[in-house]
Structure 1
């Protein structure tokens, strides 16, 4: 998203990040040395369909990035209260149209067919999460338009009154984990 953004939006993202965007290096570490160590250190099923990634806020974005960029490794993802704006969302009431288009295009280019994969998306309606609906709606529409079956291949939930914080995320973890990890 960063590289495809206009110079103005890119500058706002860089300022919000406080430095260079390191998502490619971070994903290389997760998919490489970290996964190798986990699989060597624990009794794991190492295949794509048994490998999940999940995170909240910027970790939700990173989980989506991993799921879409490395479908050979991550067959399941939970993107919880993903911080779709990637900047201070109060700057644009109702969502930044450029960012909404960028997320739509990114999912259109990267998603591909479900092929047994499963994706969870959610957000609340309070604090920072109150700004996520326009972005999430665009992503949801793209996923549906790509032939993914809601409830089977992907799920998107809105938690009324839920805030952008760890207690809210922890409260819904049983539902998230049950859906993401269930066997057909």
Structure 2
């Protein structure tokens, strides 16, 4: 059956200047983020026409190829990485692209934060080197508090160190929870280029077929938790939560089910289950933690098309049903209109926190 095609008219409505001779082109997940401008170059007026099947979910960016062949990608106003432009293909449309800046060597270090920063940052020793720990707790709250450990801690609080200028605003969500009478402490763990090795429990291309997830899970249980308990007071497992998104969701589910009785709640946001041909699904049978509550969610715009995203939601709901008999509680939530990004997880975090502490 022929797929209905729609025509999009792209126009760069604003961009900072570039050296003479640069060719601007469009890239995105629809072309595997290729840096080849062939067929996707904007005309001198900054316009480009393309055709896409109805129902495609597009994430795109503008790039510039310099006369010497080097390529610069659009960024934010501070030279850091920018979030992609998003578009759901539902019919012919004109789309304006506002390019705020170009990525440069500053990596966005001057980017201001809109959300509250952590109260403290410390560094602990880990097998892979120094591990920063970003800590937040409600003002005036001393002693032990329920503990949330967050992966991808560089994206948890203020926007300055984030991947693309968007954060989870974890402090804002936790402050609202505290105002409702449920204070918690957050320990967020930044990660860098070792993310695929630390978070994916199975050998695959992005971790060079050398997973470090067991090493990471051992450190969480054997080093991080004892350190936090010694400093702030012991917290029982039923008041300890582990959470993360994408690969962070994968390591959350893996570490929690690998070490039953360690975490009372698992926040599995948009889990990336595909590495090593969905090896997690083959590892899962027989895993159980009768005392754990597990939150699993997925946005309905997380694949390349509306139909594929719908299938992903179905598969994730089925995963939750498969897990439910083996844990205390399994909750599945769909993020309507949510893509695979920080703004989506920021929007779903408050509901997870309420479910964790009020449920």
TM-score tier (shorter): 0.7 to 0.9
Query: 1:58 maps to which residue?
Result: 247
Matched-pair contact (CA < 8 Å) for 1:121–1:155 = yes
Residue 44 of structure 1 and its aligned partner are, at CA, apart by 4.4
Match of 1:74 among 263, 278, 283: 263
Gaps of 5+ in 1: 1-11, 88-97
Distance in 2 of aligned mates of 1:139 and 1:106 = 13
Q: Which has the larger radius of gyration?
A: 2
Greater displacement, 157-166 / 128-137: 128-137
1:139 aligns with 2:319: yes
Match of 2:336 among 157, 160, 164: 160
State TM-score, norm by structure 2: 0.39
Matched positions, count: 153
Matched-pair contact (CA < 8 Å) for 1:49–1:76 = yes
Residue 15 of structure 1 and its aligned partner are, at CA, apart by 1.0
Distance in 1 of aligned mates of 2:326 and 2:244 = 25
- Structure number with the higher helix fraction is 1
Residue 16 of structure 1 and its aligned partner are, at CA, apart by 2.9
CA 1:127–1:147: 2 relative to 1, 3 Å: closer
CA 1:148–1:32: 2 relative to 1, 3 Å: closer
Name the SS for the 2:338 alignment partner: coil
Q: How does 1:3-14 map to 2 (within 5 A)?
A: 14=204
Distance in 1 of aligned mates of 2:257 and 2:302 = 27
Gaps of 5+ in 2: 1-201
CA 1:86–1:33: 2 relative to 1, 3 Å: same
Query: 1:172 maps to which residue?
Result: 348
Distance in 1 of aligned mates of 2:315 and 2:293 = 20
Residue 19 of structure 1 and its aligned partner are, at CA, apart by 4.6
Residue 43 of structure 1 and its aligned partner are, at CA, apart by 3.5
Query: 1:25 maps to which residue?
Result: 215
The alignment yields a C-alpha RMSD, in angstroms, of 2.6
Matched-pair contact (CA < 8 Å) for 1:58–1:83 = yes
Residue 13 of structure 1 and its aligned partner are, at CA, apart by 5.3
Name the SS for the 1:79 alignment partner: strand
- Structure number with the higher strand fraction is 2
